[in-house]
Amino acid sequence: MMKIFKTVGLFFILCSMSAIAFGQDAQDDKQEAKIIAATNVLSDFGKMKEHIPSELLKITNGIIIVPKLIKAGFVLAGKRGRGIAMVKLSDGSWSDPVFVTITGGSIGLQVGVQSEDLVLIFKNASTLQNMGKGSFTLGGDISISAGPVGRSSSAATDYKMEAEVYSYSRSKGLFAGISLSGSSIAVDEKANENFYGEPENAQAIFSSSANTSASVSELKSTLKNLYHQQ
């Protein structure tokens, strides 16, 4: 009888370990999928007729990509999404991705659920690098504006570009600037830990480009192409 109990106990221990391992693999896959989705968003943005103006891209040093930002509500509406953030390093390369969340709300005639791809363009890398110290609010802690649209540099010649962040969205094939004032952005510490295998400080990730995984390399390559194809 004791032998049976030991066997059953061992079985449950192995099952528990397998479940934990499976759960970890699922989390890793989830972050990997988010990076691939972000890469696809950038690639699709680069193929569209309307585009982020080249003059704006030339002066930006950070980016947040949120695939499938969810907007839902009835009169009172909310936004929620998970994405990745990257900054341009001193040598012109892009940092490893930091996983982030964005949440917000608004009042207006909004009914149902809508999904859209979101890209935030930052003029200064320090804005994102300081995010490791806590969340910040768009339009509150930092200025944000719906980004100007136009593939050629002349499209933004007269634009003052005084905001720190410019936002763009794509929904149902339409590309445009979008207002996100009041939305909060924060580091997703759990997602970073799942992806990098240990607790990682966001500022440390932003200062590194050491990750050479296939998905991250493809993301960086696609981002580089977006900044140079204008």
Q: What is the mean pLDDT of residues 85-110?
A: 83
pLDDT at site 169: 84
- Lowest-confidence region among 28-32, 81-85, 95-99: 28-32
* C-alpha separations of 6 from 13, 19, 20 in Å: 10, 20, 21
SS3 163: coil
Q: Which residue has the higher pLDDT, 79 or 187?
A: 187
The larger pLDDT score, comparing residue 103 to residue 40, is at 40
What is the residue extent of each domain of the chain? 31-228
pLDDT of residue 99: 96
Q: b/e string for 50-88 if b means 16 or more Cβ within 10 A?
A: bbbbbbbbeebbbbbbbbebebebeeebebebbbbbbbb
The two structure tokens encoding residue 170: 């794509």
SS3 of residue 129 by DSSP: helix
